[in-house]
């Protein structure tokens, strides 16, 4: 018996030793597995956190815009643990892992408790710790994801959890967990969950809010009454049962489905233009204060213009010296039926805003001076597409006008005459040098209408072209960021010509014939400004500059619908003036210093169609003090009927009541002759005659001595002729 007892003890000892060896081996294997587990560092996880929203900051790091670029989920920026409410941390730990601060990744007590409970439950209860849940979320996806399910997946999760505990602190684990855990619907992370569900930041949560969010971690899709019940359970565990009623109320207010998150919305169009990647944080040159003032000013004035069928607008503010964009307002927002359209980048017809560049080129090339005289009288130009007959805005002609008056008062016919001297090709190349990249067609496509803005450009490029004038004719690219690669700066026109154009555009007397002495173009500080209105009243512009800023404003309709009775001084100009006045509230703008190469010249016009004055001229174009100047570009021309016209009488009107208009543009003593016979006294530029006999006719414009100045040949068809001729 004694021998048997000894043998039995030896068996027990051997068994215990074997178990001990096995346990040691298991521990060694577990230790090796834990030590070799591919666990990322906390700093790497935090650095790789990519929110669904990109953020645009102004030059002073003020948030301008939050733009969501990831449509699959809503995740905001990483939130440090210290920026979360302490009651939230306590609530999450109580709800999800009450022994979190004491275990090493696996809660053995919780595992045993879950095993015992599951013997009596139809629905299994898990025992995943916060560390295990985080390990599962950090585990990269696998093919088919079969390893994530079943016993193998759970063992892998436990191994990774222990590895996290080995390499990370408890605070790091809890911080990472709360930043990547899903809450409800598309909301991921505590910042998105708190703001999207409760309209609060993670640092402003009370006990009821914290309990509701903790309940959603366990069951994001649970019904609202279930969320309220679970929140109350958590509160009772925290000895805060008094907050249960409010938690139930908060849970009942959770809106199912998508969650609208209120954010900063001051520069949506620029954000869409510049931001490309989810989580991007971009600092731009905009000034939040200027941006918000410009946006509010635009909305205020457009609300006043709503009865005139105006609902859209855009504003750009540039820093003259650096080219930095200080304000970029792409639309009127809620006032617009197409608020997503970027009015700053949209291509529109610029109207008369191109005239300063035309006259600047002519002055730079020594073809004109500010005191040169142009003829504002009827004009007809033959083009490949037909006869081009420009008209002034008010349908009146003023006769002899100086370049200063023609530009300041925005007269159309003198501008077209200036273009005939400069040439469409040369002017087109110059405008491209000013940065108007939208002018992609050849000169024949635009024709003489280019002088009046018969092309397309956008507000940013046009404003930057005016900034070029402010900088003495030197063009450089507008900038949105400090590190933006810039195109090489270039001198487009001379500093002398730019200075003279700026002097004209700032002269209230020069624009008085059209705009009056007191208008929305008049500012308390020095400013050079020009308006423009496109064909059909579809676009209205005001662009100008001070010594520090260039401001461009466009108003109209993105739909292309015409405005009703909106002129240059009633549409964009009041908005432009308010922005300029705001920019110079503290510091007045000063007139630019005359550059070398310009000088003053006293000018007297004979006949005195304009008052004597002192005029800036480029030094090598100075003339005698008293000028008797010939009209520039005032070549006598026939206007009607057009050359080669075929006129078909209207068969519904008695022939004796049909007549023919003969018209010339000359106000001098020229004579109209039809088929070599005088039809009016010399000096009469328009006459109405009975319709001539069918056949070809020759209309001649001659001087009093019989010298031919212009000649048109046209044809009159008989009433029995076939239709198809051109009717004039």
Q: What is the DSSP string of 228-288?
A: HHHHHHHHHHTT-GGGHHHHHHHHHTPPSS-------BS-HHHHHHH--STT-EEE-S--H
Q: Provide the pLDDT for residue 523.
A: 94
10 pLDDT band, cuts 50/70/90, is: low
Q: Provide the pLDDT for residue 171.
A: 94
Q: Provide the pLDDT for residue 170.
A: 92
Q: What is the mean pLDDT of residues 424-447?
A: 94
Q: What is the mean pLDDT of residues 52-71?
A: 89
Q: Provide the pLDDT for residue 396.
A: 78
Closest of 75, 38, 80 to residue 174, by C-alpha: 80
Above 70 in pLDDT, residue 723?
Answer: no
Above 90 in pLDDT, residue 504?
Answer: yes
Q: What is the DSSP letter of 409?
A: T
Q: Which residue has the higher pLDDT, 21 or 400?
A: 400
**Lowest-confidence region among 55-69, 109-123, 172-186, 662-676:** 109-123
Above 60 in pLDDT, residue 108?
Answer: yes
Q: Is the peptide bond before 607 cis (omega within 30 degrees of 0)?
A: yes
Q: What is the mean pLDDT of residues 605-613?
A: 86
- The answer to pTM > 0.75 is yes
726 pLDDT band, cuts 50/70/90, is: very low
675-695 residue pLDDT tens: 999 998 888 877 888 889 899
- Residue 434 contacts residue 409 (beta carbons within 8 Å): no
Both tokens of 192, joined, read: 């998105």
Q: Which residue has the higher pLDDT, 566 or 12?
A: 566
Above 90 in pLDDT, residue 587?
Answer: yes
Both tokens of 673, joined, read: 């002759």
Q: Provide the pLDDT for residue 390.
A: 81
Both tokens of 608, joined, read: 């005195």
Above 50 in pLDDT, residue 722?
Answer: no
Alpha-carbon distance values, 5 to 9, 11, 14, 19, 645 (Å) = 6, 10, 14, 21, 135
Closest of 357, 320, 505 to residue 431, by C-alpha: 357
163 pLDDT band, cuts 50/70/90, is: confident
Q: Which residue has the higher pLDDT, 34 or 44?
A: 44
Q: Is the peptide bond before 641 cis (omega within 30 degrees of 0)?
A: yes
Q: What is the mean pLDDT of residues 544-552?
A: 98
Q: Provide the pLDDT for residue 184.
A: 86
216 pLDDT band, cuts 50/70/90, is: very high
Q: Provide the pLDDT for residue 684.
A: 83
Beta strands 598-605; 613-618: pairing state: antiparallel
Q: What is the DSSP letter of 632?
A: B
Both tokens of 294, joined, read: 């410009």
- Residue 618 contacts residue 473 (beta carbons within 8 Å): no
Q: Provide the pLDDT for residue 354.
A: 97
Q: What is the mean pLDDT of residues 432-442?
A: 95
Q: What are the residues whose beta carbons fall under 8 Å from the beta carbon of 297, sequence distance 6 or more?
A: 315, 575, 578, 579, 582
Q: Which residues pair with 479 in a beta bridge?
A: 324
Mean model confidence pLDDT for the chain: 85
Q: Provide the pLDDT for residue 362.
A: 95
Sign of CA dihedral 89, 90, 95, 97: positive
Q: Is the peptide bond before 502 cis (omega within 30 degrees of 0)?
A: no
Q: Provide the pLDDT for residue 592.
A: 96
Above 70 in pLDDT, residue 259?
Answer: no
Above 50 in pLDDT, residue 399?
Answer: yes
Residue 667: phi and psi, rounded to 5, are -100, 5
Place of tokens 């900034």: 467
Q: Which residue has the higher pLDDT, 412 or 632?
A: 412
704 pLDDT band, cuts 50/70/90, is: confident
Q: Provide the pLDDT for residue 13.
A: 61
Q: Which residues pair with 186 in a beta bridge?
A: none
- Residue 691 contacts residue 660 (beta carbons within 8 Å): yes
151 pLDDT band, cuts 50/70/90, is: low
Q: What is the mean pLDDT of residues 531-538?
A: 88
146 pLDDT band, cuts 50/70/90, is: very low
Whole-angstrom Cα distance, residue 687 to residue 678? 11
């Amino acid at each position: 018996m004694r021998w048997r007892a000894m043998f039995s003890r030896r068996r027990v000892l051997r068994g215990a030793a074997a178990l001990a060896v096995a346990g040691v081996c298991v521990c060694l294997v577990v230790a090796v597995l834990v030590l070799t587990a591919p666990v990322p560092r906390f700093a790497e996880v935090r650095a790789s956190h990519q929110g669904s929203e990109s953020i645009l900051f102004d030059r002073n790091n003020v948030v301008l815009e939050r733009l969501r670029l990831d449509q699959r989920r809503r995740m905001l920026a990483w939130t440090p643990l210290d920026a979360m409410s302490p009651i939230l941390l306590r609530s999450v730990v109580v709800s999800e892992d009450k022994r979190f601060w004491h275990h090493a990744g696996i809660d053995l007590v919780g595992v045993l408790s879950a095993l015992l409970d599951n013997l009596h439950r139809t629905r299994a209860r898990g025992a995943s710790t916060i560390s295990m849940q985080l390990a599962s979320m950090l585990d990269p996806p696998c093919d088919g994801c079969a390893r994530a399910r079943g016993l193998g997946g759970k063992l892998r999760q436990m191994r990774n959890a222990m590895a996290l505990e080995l390499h990370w602190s408890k605070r790091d684990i809890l911080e990472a967990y709360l930043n990547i855990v899903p809450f409800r619907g598309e909301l991921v992370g505590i910042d998105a969950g708190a703001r999207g569900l409760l309209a609060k930041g993670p640092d402003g949560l009370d006990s009821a809010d914290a309990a509701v969010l903790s309940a959603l971690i366990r069951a994001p899709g649970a019904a609202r009454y279930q969320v309220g019940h679970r929140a109350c359970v958590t509160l009772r565990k925290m000895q805060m049962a008094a907050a249960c009623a409010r938690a139930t109320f908060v849970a009942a207010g959770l809106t199912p489905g998508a969650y609208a998150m209120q954010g900063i919305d001051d520069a949506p169009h620029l954000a869409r233009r510049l931001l490309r990647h989810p989580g991007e944080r971009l600092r731009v040159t905009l000034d939040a204060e200027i941006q918000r003032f410009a946006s509010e000013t635009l909305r205020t004035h457009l609300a006043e213009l709503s009865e005139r069928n105006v609902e859209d607008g855009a504003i750009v503010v540039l820093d003259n010296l650096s080219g930095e964009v200080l304000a970029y307002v792409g639309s009127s927002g809620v006032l617009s039926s197409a608020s997503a359209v970027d009015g700053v980048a949209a291509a529109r017809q610029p109207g008369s805003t191109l005239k300063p560049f035309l006259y600047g080129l002519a002055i730079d090339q020594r073809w004109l001076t500010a005191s040169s005289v142009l003829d504002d009288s009827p004009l007809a130009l033959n083009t490949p597409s037909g006869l081009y007959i420009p008209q002034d805005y008010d349908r009146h002609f003023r006769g002899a006008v100086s370049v200063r008056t023609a530009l300041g008062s925005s007269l159309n016919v003198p501008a077209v005459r200036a273009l005939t001297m400069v040439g469409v090709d040369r002017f087109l190349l110059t405008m491209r040098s000013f940065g108007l990249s939208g002018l992609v067609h050849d000169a024949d496509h635009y024709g003489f209408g280019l002088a009046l803005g018969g092309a397309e450009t956008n507000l940013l490029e046009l404003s930057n072209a005016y900034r070029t004038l402010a900088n003495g004719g030197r063009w450089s690219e507008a900038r949105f960021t400090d590190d933006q690669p810039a195109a090489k700066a270039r001198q487009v026109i001379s500093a002398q010509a730019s200075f003279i154009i700026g002097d004209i555009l700032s002269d209230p007397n020069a624009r008085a014939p059209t705009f009056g002495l007191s208008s929305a173009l008049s500012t308390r500080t020095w400013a050079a400004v020009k308006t423009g209105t496109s064909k059909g009243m579809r676009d209205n512009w005001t662009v100008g500059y001070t010594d520090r800023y260039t401001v461009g404003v466009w108003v109209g309709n993105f739909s292309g619908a015409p405005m009703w009775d909106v002129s240059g001084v009633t549409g964009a100009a009041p908005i432009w003036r308010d922005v300029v006045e705001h920019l110079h509230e503290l510091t007045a703008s000063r007139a630019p210093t005359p550059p070398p190469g310009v000088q003053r010249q006293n000018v007297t016009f004979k006949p005195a169609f304009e008052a004597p004055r002192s005029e800036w001229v480029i030094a090598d174009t100075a003339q005698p003090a008293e000028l008797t100047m010939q009209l520039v570009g005032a070549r006598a021309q026939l206007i009607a009927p057009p050359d080669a016209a075929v006129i078909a009488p209207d068969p519904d009107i008695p022939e004796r009541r049909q007549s023919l208009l003969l018209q010339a543009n000359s106000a001098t003593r020229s004579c109209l002759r039809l088929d070599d016979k005088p039809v009016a006294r010399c000096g009469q530029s328009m006459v109405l005659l009975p319709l001539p006999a069918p056949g070809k006719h020759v209309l001649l414009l001659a001087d009093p001595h019989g010298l031919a100045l212009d000649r048109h040949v046209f044809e009159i068809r008989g009433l029995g002729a076939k239709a198809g001729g051109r009717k004039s």
